[in-house]
Each structure stands twice: as C-alpha cells, then as structure tokens.
Structure 1
Amino acid sequence: MPDFIDDLGHGLYAIDTGFQRPRFDAAYLMIEDGRAAFIDTGTNHAVPRLLAALDTLGVARNAVDWVIPTHVHLDHAGGVGLLMEALPNARALVHPRGLRHMVDPKALWLSALTVYGDAEMQRSYGKLVPVPAERAEASHDDQVIHLAGRPLRLIDTPGHARHHHAIWDEASRSWFTGDTFGLSYRVFDVDGRAWILPTSTPVQFDPDALKATVARLLAAEPVAMQVTHYGRIGGSVDEVRRLAALMLDEVDDMVALARQLRDAPDRHERLKAGLLDGYLARLRVHGHPADADAADWLAMDAELNAQGLEVWLDRAPAA
C-alpha cells in the first residue's frame, strides 16, 4: 500500500493529501460493502492521491456515494469539486452555511485570498471547481445518512467555523472532527501519547461555542477522534477526554492572552509570539524537547491563530 495511505481499521483509511508537508492534512476514505465515502478532500492537488487510494483498495469510482467536507476551508474542501468530476454517482453533503460556497466558490476564494495572498493561493490550492447544484445538498443537525447500511450521524459543530459539522461513525465509535477538536501532529507524539492545540483560524472562532461543541462530541463517549490535522487520535474514552481537557485549557489561555493584548499597539506580533511561547511550553510539559524544529512547525499555526483571535477580539465585548 502507498505510504500516503494509513489503514485505521473498520474500513477507514487516512490519506495524506500532501498539503504543505507530510502528515499534515488528511482526507478520510470509508469503505463499507463495496461502497465508499470521502470525508474531507484536501485541495485540488490532493485529488490524484484520493483517486489512487480508490484504485489501490479496489473501489470503483462509481461506487463512491458521498463526499462530505467537514467545513469549507480550502484545506478541507478545496478539492471537492474537482474530485466529484471523477465520481459520477457521488453527492456532496455540506453544512448549510457552506453549501453555496461549494456551488459557487467565488466568495470562498476571495475570502481565502485576503488571508494567504495570490501567490500562495495558486501554489497551495489551485483553481476552485464548482460542484453542480443538483449534486450537492445541505446537512442538518442530527441527520443520519447511510453508506451501504452503515449509519453516519452529522451534527452542527460551531466554534472553529459556523459552517462546520462533524460526522459520527458508530462502527468505529469515532467522530470525524475537521478542526473542532483541534490539531494534533504526529511529530509531537511522545511515547504514543498525542499532543493537541486548538485552531482559531480566521474568521469565525468562538470559544464559548467551541466548548459547547466539544462537550457534545464527548457525550457520545468516543474512543477516537479522526482529526484532519492529523489522523486518528485517542484510543479510549479516557484518552479522548484527556485530549479534550488539554485543548480547552489552551483555549482559555489563548483567550486570556488576546484580552490582555486587546489594546496593545503591536498586538499582532505580541499575540503571535505569546501563542508560540505557550505552545512550546506545553510541549515541554508533554515531554517533547520543543526545539527550533518544533517552533518552525508551529509558526504558521501561531500566525493563523493570532489572526483569528484578533477577528474574535474585535467583535467580542471587552471583559
């Protein structure tokens, strides 16, 4: 099997989309009784790998029934339209707040352009392909769909973005969480234990909504979380709860730092530096050396989280 495919059991496969660097951005392929679904797709550049995964696993392209982005940020959904051109029977199931952006991605492109700039957009994402309206539908909270009889439950999961849903798979007792359960990079695993950090990427971060979402996810007593960045984490109910507590504690620290720097003249740079320092300090507690390589790996997250926190700060009332 190619090294960009990880077999997770229960008919689940994590596919490294190749976005930015190895083991950074995952798409998931679910196979049940010869039928298949993709959950998140990565960008346009990931589509050849997704199709290669089908070929490797012996799944016909007309056997894919669903393409389900957790939300419409481009590292999760940028490749949906192009992928569906190769999957004649697939339907896209999208959060109702994100559906129009899959059918007409112009506003989505312009929004991302303000964050990343034109050169990065062309390099990392490529031209967005619209999904035909007749092949796309909106999800709704507590919706249940089936893949060859395998039930998948979708719930509304705001906090990272308002156009975000998560998918519960009873067969593996796991959630596909997109970005609502944070980021957990395998390079920071220590003795098999994962480390996690929240993501407040612009522009809809809401800490209170995120806490409520995490509580709702935990209520299902999942034994694992399938995070887009990156892969399956957990392994037991207790381990998932440990990771949730760690992430929510970090959310509180991030919010406190942002409020402290609300009126600082050099707010962005101080916020970015403070976030990075906090991540590295927590990594050391985790048992990781938190060296220069770790700082380099986390620099972009510190930048994007600082941007998102500032958007939240500017619309939140002063404490």
Structure 2
Amino acid sequence: MTAQGIHTIDTGFVRPRFDAAYLIVERGRGAFVDCGTNHAVPRMLAALDDAGLTPAEVDWLILTHVHLDHAGGAGELIAHLPNARLVVHPRGARHMIDPSKLWAGASEVYGESVMESTYGRLRPVPAERVVEAADGHVVDLAGRALHCLDTPGHARHHLTVHDVRSNSCFTGDVFGLSYRDFDSANGPYILPTTSPVQFDPEALHTSIRRLVALNPSAMYLTHYGRIGNVPKLADDLHAQIDAMASLAREMRGLPGSQRHQRLKQALADLYAKRLAAHGWQGSREELQALLGMDVELNAQGLEVWVDSLP
C-alpha cells in the first residue's frame, strides 16, 4: 500500500506479478479498479480484509475495459459487494450486463473448456448496478475524486482513472506493459500492447500524450504495478508504437501465415534489442517465456490494424 491508500492486488492470473487489480481506500470506503477473472475473487475479498474493510464498505468497481483479464470476474465480484456499483466505458456496459457475446467470441478462439478453466463462467452484472462513464465522468469515493478519461488505442472501450488525491493514473493497458521481471538499474522496461481487433496507433499516441499532460506522479498498470518516471516511459512507448506499426506495414503484402511468423520474430527482435540496451541480461528463452503471449497478441493486433488500412 502507498501512503495514499492504494493497495496492489496480484490476481494470480497466468503467473505472479503478471495481472494486477487495485483497491483504493478513502475514509473507510473502498473502490476496486479492475478485478481479474472469477478465480481472483477470493484474492479481492482477502485484500478488503487486509485493508480493514468489509464487502459492504465497497462503493465501486471501476473497469478500465472489458477484456477478460481485467473484467472477467466483475459479475462474480459484484455479487459479493452488496452496495457497490460497476463503472465502465459506455461501449463496454452492454457486455457486462450480458456477457454472452464476450464469452462466445473468446470461446471461438480458445474453446469452451479452456475458457472455463482459465476465466470461469462469466456472470452478468444487474443493469441497475451499472454506471456508464463517459469522458470526464467523476466517481466520488467518500469525497475523493476519481476522474474517468476516455483513452482509446488499445481498445475503443478503454478508460483511464485519474486519482486526483495521489495524482496517479490507473491505466489498464493504454500505458503499456511493464513486468517487474525486466527491472534493471535503469528502472522499469515498458512496451505497448495491442488488442487483437481494436488497436489504433494514432489513438494510442493521443491517449498517452493526454495522460502525460496530467503530469502524474505514477502510473498503476494492470501488467504490472506502480511505475514512475512517466515522461521517459511515455517516450519509450511512442518510439515502440511507431516501430511496431512500421514493421506491420513492411510485411503487409506477405501471405497470412508467413507474415504472422515473420512479424512475431521481428517484434521479439525489437524487444530483445531494447531490453539489452536497458540492461536486462536474460536469455532469449527467458524473454520468450515472459513475453511470448504478448508477442503473439501484438502480432495479431498489428495484422488486423494493417489490414484495415486503405
């Protein structure tokens, strides 16, 4: 916990220090930001206990977006929080009230059995408990203002929470990924994350610039944890977004399977080169173990994006 009443919760998804949710505590009231999957619900409730709160003292569950590693457990968690309301981007609200399309789309990719074991069955959130947060919406946590900012780029239904009290942002995926495994004497390493269907590099640049303009003291990333030195890391993100987009354009004309493999190799090379310059001394095998999933998703997102260009 920081001095500002912010608790980091490891949701246990995939591996330790991979997927975070947060609990903000103000004057005996709580707000969660993101929640992981159904399997994370016991951890979320344990975090309340550690913070000296009961489930009835949670007023809000705020979702940065509805991708399942951030929001898959929302319905199950809300069922344990009798007084809480769910705050979500207007584009994501219907998927929380009726998650059948989310489930069907992901099941087509992964299969029902994998979905059940990885995420657990998605539980609807009662419509009367859902609050749609358009750009500029303010969540009041016992007098503590949590500003919801529309920040597309990773997804069109993405919002960032700016906590005025701590002057920090809860960024979901819009401010990239920064795993503690890559920390070096030069600080944290960061890289952008696309999504398979809604990546928009120009929108992502704009969202990052908007957050930096707030001059925040820290960013709280879902993947993973609190990071400072925001202007420097923003520059790193901008450079890599441009490099990734350039790679996708260069390979646009290649056949599908060949392009996908070439693009994954090029992305892994890009991150390996930047990690070496950053001072990380791990092997290529370690890089694959830590970033293999992200390289795959980034390649998919870049390919969908480049195929949408005129």
TM-score range, shorter chain: over 0.9
- Deviation string 1:54-106 (CA, Å, 9 cap, x unpaired) is 11221011110000110000000001000000000000011000000000000
Whether contact under 8 Å (1:8, 1:14) holds in the other structure is no
**1:120-269 correspondence runs (5 A):** 120-191=114-185, 193-234=187-228, 239-265=229-255, 266-269=258-261
Judge conservation of contact 1:280–1:290 (CA < 8 Å) in 2.
Answer: no
Deviations 1:226-263 (A, max 9, x none): 000000001xxxx2000000011001110000001101
Deviation at 1:115, TM superposition (A): 3.7
Alpha-carbon spacing, 1:112–1:37, altered in 2? closer, same or farther (3 Å)? same
SS of residue paired to 2:2 = strand
Does the Cα contact within 8 Å between 1:8 and 1:232 map onto a contact in 2? Answer: no
Provide Cα deviations, 1:118-174, integer angstroms capped at 9, x if missing partner: 343222101000000011110011111210000111110000000000000011111
Say which of 72, 77, 87 aligns to 2:71.
77
Partner of 1:17: 11
Gaps of 5+ in 2: none
Give distance in 1, aligned partners of 2:108 and 2:295. 17
Q: Could you say what secondary structure the match of 1:8 adopts?
A: coil
User: Structure 1 pair 122/192, CA: closer, same or farther in 2 (3 Å)?
Assistant: farther
Shift of 1:51: 0.3
CA-to-aligned-CA distance 1:257-277 (integer Å, 9 cap, x gap): 000110112111111111111
Cα deviation digits, residues 154-210 of structure 1 (max 9, x gap): 110000000000000011111100000000000000026000000012110000000
Say whether the 8 Å CA contact 1:177–1:228 is kept in structure 2: yes
Counterpart residue number, 1:275: 267
1:97-108 equivalences under 5 Å are 97-108=91-102
Mapped contact 2:186–2:278 kept (Cα < 8 A)? no
Structure 2 residue 54 is the aligned partner of structure 1 residue 45? no
The aligned counterpart of 1:67 is 61
Distance in 2 (CA, whole Å) between partners of 1:137 and 1:316 is 34
Counterpart of 1:312 in structure 2 is: 305
Percent identical among aligned pairs is 57
Corresponding position of 2:280? 288
TM-score (norm 2): 0.97
State the shift of 1:111 in Å: 2.0
Deviations 1:11-36 (A, max 9, x none): 00010000000000000000000000
Distance 1:137 1:168 in 2: 17
Distance (Å, rounded) in 2 between the aligned partners of 1:268 and 1:67: 37
Find the residue that maps to 2:22 and give its secondary structure. Answer: strand
| Alpha-carbon distance in 2 for matches of 1:230, 1:190 | 15
Range that drifts further, 28-37 or 110-119? 110-119
> Counterparts of 1:117 and 1:201 in 2: how far apart (Å)?
19
Q: Return the offset for 1:299.
A: 0.7
Output the CA distance in 2 between the equivalents of 1:117 and 1:272. 23
Mapped pair 1:90 → 2:84: yes
Contact 2:186 2:279 in 1 (8 A): no
Are the counterparts in 1 of residues 93 and 132 from structure 2 also a CA contact under 8 Å? yes
- Give the stretch that moved more between structures: 109-118 or 9-18: 109-118
Deviates more, 1:20-29 or 1:282-291: 282-291
Distance of 1:312 and 1:115 partners within structure 2: 18
CA distance in 2, matches of 1:294, 1:9: 34
| RMSD of equivalent CA atoms | 1.0
Partners in 2 of 1:24 and 1:117 — Cα distance?
23
Structure 1 CA distance for aligned equivalents of residues 117 and 17 of structure 2: 19
Q: In the superposition, relative to structure 1, how do residues 182 and 115 fare at CA in structure 2: closer, same or farther (>3 Å)?
A: farther
